[in-house]
Amino acid sequence: MTWDALIFYLLGAVSILAALGVVAAANPVHSAIFLILCFFNVAGIFVMLGAQFLAAVQVIVYAGAILVLVLFVLMLVDPDDLPEFHNARPVQRIVGVLLGAVLLLEVGLAIVSRTVMGQQGNATPELIALVGGNTQALGNVLFSQYLLPFEAVSLVLLVGVVGAIVLALPERLGAGSPRRGTISLGHPRGADQALAAGPAFETPIVQTRLEREEAASLDGSRDLIMVSDPDEYTTIGKRGRVR
Amino acid sequence: MTAEPQPVWLTFIVAFIIMNVLLIGMAYMTWFERKVLAAMQDRMGPTRTGPRGLLQPLADGVKLLGKEDLIPAAADKWVFFFAPLVVFVTAIVQVAVIPFGNTITVFGHPVNLFITDLNVGALFLIAFGSIGVYGVILGAYASSNRFSLLGGLRSAAQVISYEIIVGLSLVGIFLLTSSLSVREIMLQQQAMLQIGPLTLPNWFILSQPLAFVLFLIAVVAETNRSPFDLPEAETELVSGFHTEYSAFRFSFYFLGEYINMIVASLFAATMFLGGISGPGSDRFWGLGIVWLLVKVVLFLFFYIWLRATLPRFRYDQLMGLAWKVLLPLVLLNIVVTAFIRLVGNGQIF
Amino acid sequence: MSAATNRPGVDQRSVEVDFPVDDFGGAGEALGTMTISDEVALGENQRLMTLNMGPQHPSTHGVLRVLLKLDGEVITDCDPVIGYLHRGTEKLGESHRYAQLIPWTDRTDYVAAPMNNLGCVLAIEKLVDVTSPERAQYWRVIMSELARIASHLVWLGTHALDIGALSMSLYCFRERELIMDIFETFCGARLTTNMMEIGGFSRPIPDILPGMVRDFCNVFPSRQQEYVDVLSANPIWIARTKGIGIISPEAAISYSLTGACLRGSGINYDIRKAMPYLVYDRLDFEVPLGTHGDTFDRYLVRMEEMRQARKIILQCLDQCEKMDTPLMAYESPYVIPPHKGTMTTAEDMQRHFIWVIKGFNPPVGEAYAAVEHPKGENGYYFVSDGDAMPYRWRIRSPDFVNLGVLPHLAQGAMLADVVALIGTIDIVLGSVDR
C-alpha cells in the first residue's frame, strides 16, 4: 500500500466518521463542527486528485462562509425550540427511518451495480498540464462550455439575495418604530401575543429630513451658538427647535 | 517557473526554522506594539523587564502560564477546549505558502526558502484566514456568556463580509499575473518597469493602488484589529469572545491574533510590495529577507498606528462600509483591470 | 430607578407570557449564570436577549448597572440600576457639624471635588449670611474653573475611550495631571481636595500658584487643539457621535437636564449667567449652545466650555494678582478663627479648639445654593433648626438627574451606542448614588 492510498483511506474514513457525527450529534452546533471536519477531509481528497483549486474553493465557500452562517443561526436558536428534530412523533420517526433505509439501499445498489459510473472525462493530468494547471482547466470549461448554466446559477443566487432583502426590508421601514432586525429563527415560547406598537419615545424628536441628514453627515465642522445674555434662547419654539 | 524538488526532511528543517522565527517574531511584536503605542501616547511602555523591557514577552508568557485556568460551569467543554487552538493553528499554517526567497545552496544542497509552492497559494491564505473565525465563533458559543455570544455573532458577520473584499481585491493581481501561486506572483514583481525616465519596480501597489488600499482595510478587519475590533470591543463587550478565557487558553487567542497580523503583513508585502524584492536582493538572499522584514514591520507599524489613532466603528457602520463602499470599489477595480488586460493583450480594439 | 416596568410598551406585553412581569427587577436571576437559551419570548418570532451591563463593566463609569433588552444589537429597553455606591451621605450629614460636611462633598463627584465644596460652602454661607472676601471669591472661581476643565478632561478621555479612541484618555490625563498638581500645591490634596472653607480660604495662597495656573493656561490651547485634531476631523468619531442620542429641547426640559446635556439641546441655562454667584457677573465669558442636541453637540459644547473656562481663569488671575486683601471673612463668628496664634497663645488656641469641636449654631432657617458644576446644576439645600448639625441636608446632584434620560436615549440605539450615551451624559457614580 502506497502512502497515497493510506492518506486517501485516512481522509475517507475521517470524513465518513465526521458525516456520521453530523447526524448523531445531539447538539446542532456539534453537528456543524463535524460538518466542517467532513468538508476539510473532502477538500483533502480533492487535493489528492490534483484539484487544488476545487479544494481551496471548498474550504473558502463551504467551510469558510456557509457554515459560518449556519453556526450564526444555530447559536441563536435554542435547542429546546427544535422539538421536531429531537423529540419527534413516532410516525415521523418511522417514516424517517424508512426513507433513510430506502436511500441507503439506492446508493448501495448504485455502487454495487456500478450504474452511477459517469462518462470518463478528458481531464487527464497531461491535458491539464497543457492548459497550464487545474485552475486554468476549470476556468476554461466553466466559462466556455458551461457558461449558460453558470449564469443561470448566478441568477438563482441573485433571486435569493433579492428575496432575502425583501423579507428583511419591511421591518426597517416600519413607521416610527426603532431599527430592529429579527435574527432569531426560534419559535416563540409562551403566548403568541402580537407586539404592541413597540417601545415608543415619550417625546418624539421632531426633525426635518434635512436636519437629520445634516446630523448624519460626516462633516466635522458645526457651529455652536455662543450667548452671553442669559435671557436669550430660553423658550422652545415650534418644531422643537430653539429660538 | 516551478520550484526545484527537495527532500522532505529539508522542507521540515526550513519549516521548523520559519515557524520558530514566526513565534519569536510574534512575541516581539507584542513588545513592539507596547513600545510604539507608548511612544504615541506619551508613555514609556515596558521598562522594568530587561534592557528597554525586552524581556517583557517572556514575563507575559510566564504570567499567562501561571494564571488559573477557568472553565465556566455552563461551558461546552470540548468546544471550549479546542476553539483557541483553531485560531492558533490556522494562523500559523498560513505561513506555509509565503516565500522568503528563492532556492539557495547550503552545503551543496539546494534549499528552497519557502515551505511549499502551492499553485493556489493565494487561495490557501484566504481559506485559512476565513477558517480562523471558527475559533472565535466556537469560543464565543462555548463560553455561554452573552457578551461572548454577541462578540461571536459580530465576528461571524464581519469576517464573512471582509473576506469577500480580501479575495476580490486580489483578483486584479490574479488577472495581471495569470497565477494563483504566491511565489509566482512575487517573482513577477521582481521585474523592473520602465515608465519614461523612471525605472520602477513592478510592484503591484503601483499598478493596483485601489486594490492595495481595499486589501489593507479588509485585512485589518479580518484580523479583528482596531478600528474593526468589534468582536472583542473591550468597552462594550468586555473583550467579547474571549471574556471567559483565561491563562494559557487565552494566550492561544492572543498568539493567534498576533500571528495573524504578521501573516497578513507578510501576505500584503508579498502580494503588493514585491516580497523580497529590493536593491541587492537578487545577489544576496539574506538581503531579500531583510527587505521582506522591513516591509512587514512597516505594515505592523501601520496596524499599531491605527490602533492608537482611530475610534471603533459601530456594527452597522462596519457592515455598511464593507457592502456599500468597499464592495462596489473592489468590483470596479476588477472590471477596470480586466478591461486594461484585454486591451493590453490586443483582444479588443 | 426601576420605573421601566411602568413604561408603555413594556408591561402590557409581558403580562401574558410565562416569565415574571418584574423580569427587570429580578436581580438574582439577571445576576446568575447566563445561558444562551435564557432569552425571553416577546410576541411573535420576537426573541429578546437580556444583557446585564455592569456593575462591573469597563464602560459604565463606575458601578452603574444597565439592564438592556436587545433585539440583535438594537436596544428595545434599557433600565439603569443605581445604588451600588450609595454611602448615605445625606443621612450622615445630619450627625455632623456644618464644617465637617465639606469633606463629604469631595466624595460625591470626585472628579470635580472643588466644585462640590463650593456648592456646599455657598449654601452654608447663605444660611449664616457670610460673604467671603473678594480675593477669595476670585480664587474660588479659578479653582472651580480648573475643576471644570479637569472634569471635562476626564469626560473626554473616558468618552473617547468608550468609543474606542485609545490614546485620547492618556492625552487628557496628561493635562489633568497639571491641574492636579495645581490643586496639590494649593491644598495638599489631589482628588479629594476639601479646599473651600466657610468664609473664604484660611490658608495663604502659595507664591508659585499664580505662575502654575498661568503656565497651564498657556499650554492648554495647543493641547486642546490636539484633541480636536484627533477627534473632530475623524470620520469614525463623527459617525459615532453625530445624530446619536438626540435630546430634543422639550425632552431636555422635561427630564430636567442641566449642564451640557441641556445646553447641547440649545437651551440657554447656565447658573453662572442666570443666577450669578461669586464674581461671575463681572467676568466676560460666553455660554455655548448646541443646535442639534446630539452627542456631537454635547462634545462641542464641553470642548467650548473648556476654552471659556480658561478665559475666565485668566481674567480672575489678572484681577487677584493686583489684590493684597485678606482671604477669609474672619469678622464673622461663623468662620473658623485664624490659625495664627494657636500655637503660642492660650486664648487663640481655645477659641480655635472650641470652634472645631463645637462648631457653630446657625440661625433657624433654610438655604439653597447651586453652582454650575461641570455636569450641571449642583445644588445644596440645608435646613437648620438652630443646632450645630443640620436638621436635613440634601444634595441635588446633576448626574443623578441627567442619568434619567438614558432609557429615553437608548431605545432604538445599538449596543455600541449605549457606552457612547453613558459617556455623553457624563456621570460619576459617586455623585449619582451619593
> How open is the CA angle B109-B112-B118, to the nearest 5 degrees?
140
Interface probe, candidates B146, B155, B239, chain C, greatest C C-beta count within 10 A: B146
> How many domains would you assign to chain A?
2
**Range of weakest confidence among A198-212, C21-35, C164-178:** C21-35
The whole-angstrom separation of Cα B172 and Cα C134 is 74
Name the band, by pLDDT with cuts 50, 70 and 90, for residue C313.
Answer: very high
User: Grid coordinates standing for C313?
Assistant: 481663569
The whole-angstrom separation of Cα B101 and Cα C419 is 48
The whole-angstrom separation of Cα C179 and Cα C174 is 9
Interface probe, candidates C11, C46, C258, C405, chain A, greatest A C-beta count within 10 A: C46
- Neighbour subunits, C (≥3 Cβ pairs < 8 A): A, B
Return the amino acid letter for C221: P
User: How many Cα atoms occupy the beta-carbon half-sphere of C66 within 13 Å?
Assistant: 30
Helix axes B209-222, B146-177, angle to 10 degrees: 160
In a domain, A108, yes or no: no
Q: Write out residues 239-278 of C within 8 Å (CB-CB) of A.
A: 239, 242-243, 246-251, 253-254, 265-270, 273-274
Please identify which residue in the block is written with the cell numbers 448639625.
Answer: C389
In a domain, A165, yes or no: no
> How open is the CA angle B175-B178-B184, to the nearest 5 degrees?
120
In a domain, A65, yes or no: yes
Name the band, by pLDDT with cuts 50, 70 and 90, for residue C275.
Answer: confident
The number of beta carbons lying within 10 Å of the beta carbon of residue A172 is: 10
The number of beta carbons lying within 10 Å of the beta carbon of residue C273 is: 20
Q: Indicate the average pLDDT of chain B.
A: 82
In a domain, A148, yes or no: no
Average pLDDT, integer, range B243-247: 81
The answer to whether the CB atoms of B236 and C236 lie below 8 A apart is: no
Phi and psi at residue C21, to the nearest 5°: -60, -40
**Of C110, C91, C94, C93, the residue nearest C102 (C-alpha):** C93
pLDDT of residue A212: 58
Structural domain containing residue A27: 1-88
**Of B225, B238, B221, B237, the residue nearest B318 (C-alpha):** B221
* Terminal CA-CA length for chain B: 31
The whole-angstrom separation of Cα B141 and Cα B152 is 7
The whole-angstrom separation of Cα B343 and Cα C283 is 73
Q: Give me the count of residues in chain C.
A: 434
The answer to whether the CB atoms of B160 and A68 lie below 8 A apart is: yes
Question: What does the DSSP 8-state code read for residue C295?
Answer: H
User: Are the C-beta atoms of A56 and B124 separated by less than 8 Å?
Assistant: yes
User: Grid coordinates standing for B295?
Assistant: 516591509
Contacts of C373 (CB under 8 A, 6+ apart): C109, C112, C115, C116, C119, C259, C398
Question: pLDDT tens string for chain A (243 positions)?
Answer: 577 888 888 888 999 898 888 888 777 788 888 888 888 888 888 888 777 888 888 888 888 778 887 887 777 666 555 555 555 677 878 888 899 899 999 888 887 877 666 666 666 777 777 777 777 778 888 888 888 998 999 999 999 988 888 776 655 444 444 433 333 333 333 322 233 333 333 333 445 555 556 556 666 667 777 777 777 666 655 444 443
Listed residues A26, A53, A88: the one ending a domain: A88
How much is the pTM? Answer: 0.80
User: Grid coordinates standing for B6?
Assistant: 527537495
Please report the ipTM that was assigned to this predicted complex: 0.81
The helix/strand/coil state of C130 is coil
User: Grid coordinates standing for A174?
Assistant: 416600519
The burial class, CB within 10 Å (0-12 / 13-18 / 19+), for C332 is middle
In a domain, A25, yes or no: yes
Evaluate if residue C30 carries a pLDDT over 50.
no
Q: Domains of chain C (ranges plus CATH)? A: 10-81 (no CATH), 89-433 (1.10.645.10)
Q: Indicate the average pLDDT of chain C.
A: 81
Listed residues A55, A88, A121: the one ending a domain: A88
Residue B124 pairs in a beta bridge with none
SS (H, E, C) A104-147: HHHHHHHHHHCCCCCCCCCCCHHHHHHHCCHHHHHHHHHHHHCH
What are B66-72's contacts with CB under 8 Å, separation 24+? B66/B247, B67/B246, B67/B247, B67/B248, B68/B246, B68/B247, B69/B246, B69/B247, B69/B248, B69/B249, B70/B244, B70/B246, B70/B247, B72/B143, B72/B144, B72/B145, B72/B244, B72/C33
Residues of B in contact with A186 (CB under 8 A): none
Contacts of B250 (CB under 8 A, 6+ apart): B64, B84, B242
The number of beta carbons lying within 10 Å of the beta carbon of residue C211 is: 11
pLDDT, tens digit, 9 for 90 and up, residues B18-63? 888 888 888 888 888 888 988 888 888 888 887 888 888 888 888 8
Verify cis geometry, omega within 30 degrees of 0, for the bond prior to B227.
Answer: yes
DSSP conformation letters of B253-293? HHHHHHHHHHHHHHHHHHHHS-TT-STTTTT-HHHHHHHHH
User: Grid coordinates standing for A46?
Assistant: 480533492
User: Are the C-beta atoms of C162 and C420 separated by less than 8 Å?
Assistant: yes
Listed residues A60, A88, A116: the one ending a domain: A88
pLDDT, tens digit, 9 for 90 and up, residues C70-97? 777 778 778 888 888 888 888 888 888 8
Whether B133 contacts chain A with CB within 8 A: yes
Phi and psi at residue C376, to the nearest 5°: 145, -155
pLDDT, tens digit, 9 for 90 and up, residues C180-222? 999 999 888 888 888 888 888 888 888 888 889 999 999 999 9
Q: Give me the count of residues in chain B.
A: 349
Percent with pLDDT over 90 in chain C: 12
Identify the closest residue of chain B to A133 by CA–CA distance: B119
CA B261 from centroid of its chain's CA atoms:
4
The number of beta carbons lying within 10 Å of the beta carbon of residue C311 is: 16
Whether B124 contacts chain A with CB within 8 A: yes
In a domain, A106, yes or no: no
Residues of B in contact with C236 (CB under 8 A): 227, 310-313, 317
The whole-angstrom separation of Cα B266 and Cα C349 is 77
The whole-angstrom separation of Cα B319 and Cα B325 is 10
The whole-angstrom separation of Cα B201 and Cα C407 is 58
In a domain, A109, yes or no: no
> How open is the CA angle C325-C327-C331, to the nearest 5 degrees?
95
Phi and psi at residue C79, to the nearest 5°: -140, 110
The answer to whether the CB atoms of A242 and C296 lie below 8 A apart is: no
In a domain, A155, yes or no: no
Q: In chain C, what is the greatest distance between 2 CA atoms, to the nearest angstrom?
A: 84
Phi and psi at residue C3, to the nearest 5°: -80, 0
CA A221 from centroid of its chain's CA atoms:
41
The whole-angstrom separation of Cα A202 and Cα C158 is 29
Whether A131 contacts chain B with CB within 8 A: no
Average pLDDT, integer, range B125-135: 84
